Structure 1
Amino acid sequence: MCRTEIRSTDRTDKERGVPGRDPSPASHEFPARTAPRMASPGELDRAVADCRACPRLVAWREEAARVKRRAFRDWEYWARPVPGFGPADAPLVIVGLAPAAHGGNRTGRAFTGDPSGDAMYAALYEIGLASRPTAIHRDDGLELYGVRITMPVHCAPPDNRPTTEERDTCRPWLARELDLLRPTLRAIVVLGAFAWQALLPVLASAGWQVPRPRPVFGHAAEVVLPDPAGGSPLHLVGSYHPSQRNMSTRTLTPAMLRDALRRGADLAGLPTRLRHDGPDS
């Protein structure tokens, strides 16, 4: 069995966020007070992986690591928040929902080890933005080219449904990550309505001009957000989430996913190529 260390969460001054002291990772204030101080995506990723701010999510991710699935009984689960993945100067960002309990929560990397990731990385490889079509674990050598993957909720939630409070508690991580990427960021592909709704307030608070009323999510929806400070505009591209259900019902096909990712890459100024013309092209 995987043994996951459970840290003490007694209510100290540090946990309550007394001025002049760093909050405990178990404090509700940990993301909001820690994220703005991070100076690089790598530093941010390390802080994200220490977070224990949402008790329900901590309990669930660690329970999944203890119980495991039969197919993964020999794995030592990551069982921590899953940080973003990809280069620190990426012009294209892909925003998903949250890690899967036996996917990213097991492997420690976004979209790695579950059917959604199988579809995502195959599509990125097909258009030339990933070094290989499969993602197995965080040390498998996979590289992304000009693309970074992140999410509004970094812990695996029960039934893939984070609460509004959990989403909002986690929001500072996403806000800081996009702020750090801002010098090179040109486009975001948003996977699903939850990610779309979570992302728009982050972008608005960061200074991009989000239209009123807020744009509605849809597959292949596109929105341009001007930067009032005179920087490059930000392009949003909507895509259905490559969940196992969406792919099996063909609500989203491999060709549709490739097209959405290729459109995001084009808007970000990334070169793409099609490696394979199959029946879903």
Structure 2
Amino acid sequence: MTFAPGLPAPPHDCPRCPRLAGYRAELRSEQPDWWNAPVGGFGDSDAWLGIVGLAPGKHGANRTGRPFTGDGSGALLFAAMRDHGLASGDFLGTPDDGLALHGAMILNAVKCVPPLNKPTPEEIRTCRPFLEAEAAALPDARIYIALGQIAHQSAVKMLGGRLPKCRFAHLAEHRMPDGRILIDSYHCSRYNQNTGRLTREMLDAVFARALDLRG
């Protein structure tokens, strides 16, 4: 299964992070019909906008094989993208629902599902070369959105920035040494939605700003 033809991706049985590989093996035994493998990018290979998430959710992308598909976070994200002209079709929470992205590519900082949605710092570092390879394959992506602080940290390093000078905050903007721009957003997790940490209006503001920067 692939949603971004030609985009680099980890092997189906990537062994680089023993804890994550072991967790995948457990889930394959418990849920053999799930994807249970590294999740690659999804979107437009000519994207001008890159969106960096945290990692596959256990019952979301790890189950379906497509980023932000199968759990509550995707409904908010893709609705906002559709209303800003970055997606078309109906999001039904399945990888075959026909949803398409336009000018945007979704990537994850960590490609495999971590226990409790918490990758370790070492796992984040180990997976970063895959994120860097994906970004290198998107030469037209000059604007990035980071969903959450972990995605922010990986995106800053992937884009050649320095974390002490790039502090995470919702709607914060960071210009990288090569001119690419990173915009921060709180993650669109169900928890953040339920607590009001991220509202639809706040997410709309992030996409509106990205479109303004594109010109």
TM-score, normalised on structure 2?
0.90
Quick one: which of 40, 45, 56 aligns to 1:83?
Answer: 40
Deviation of 1:133 (Å): 4.6
Within the alignment, does 1:164 sit opposite 2:102 as a pair? no
Within the alignment, does 1:219 sit opposite 2:163 as a pair? no
Which structure's relative contact order is higher, taking Cα pairs within 8 Å and 6+ residues apart? 2
Within the alignment, does 1:53 sit opposite 2:9 as a pair? no
8 Å contact from structure 2 (residues 9, 130) kept in 1: no
- Which residue pairs with 1:272 in the alignment? none
Q: Distance in 1 between matches of 2:163 and 2:53?
A: 24
Deviation of 1:179 (Å): 1.1
8 Å contact from structure 2 (residues 171, 185) kept in 1: yes
TM-score, normalised on structure 1?
0.70
Map 1:95-174 onto structure 2 (within 5 A): 95-174=52-131
Runs of 4+ in 1 over 6 A off after TM superposition: none
Question: Secondary structure in 1 aligned to 2:164?
Answer: coil
Q: Distance in 2 between matches of 1:152 and 1:46?
A: 12
Q: 1:267 to 1:58 in 2, by over 3 A?
A: same
Larger Rg, first or second structure (1 or 2)? 1
Deviation of 1:132 (Å): 2.7
Map 1:174-253 onto structure 2 (within 5 A): 174-182=131-139, 184-204=140-160, 210=161, 213-227=164-178, 233-253=179-199
Give per-residue Cα distances to partners, 1:30-52, cap 9 Å, x unaligned.
xxxxxxxxxxx634445444423
Question: Secondary structure in 2 aligned to 1:200?
Answer: helix
Alpha-carbon RMSD across the aligned residues, in angstroms, is 1.9
- Matched AA of 1:168: R
Instruction: Say which structure is richer in strand.
Output: 2
Q: Distance in 1 between matches of 2:12 and 2:29?
A: 18
Structure 2: stretches of 5+ with no match in the other structure: none
- Matched AA of 1:117: G
State the aligned residue count. Answer: 212
Q: 1:92 to 1:136 in 2, by over 3 A?
A: same
Question: Secondary structure in 2 aligned to 1:181?
Answer: coil
Deviation of 1:65 (Å): 4.2
- Matched AA of 1:248: N
Deviation of 1:160 (Å): 0.6
Q: Distance in 2 between matches of 1:259 and 1:119?
A: 13
Q: Percent identical across equivalent pairs?
A: 44
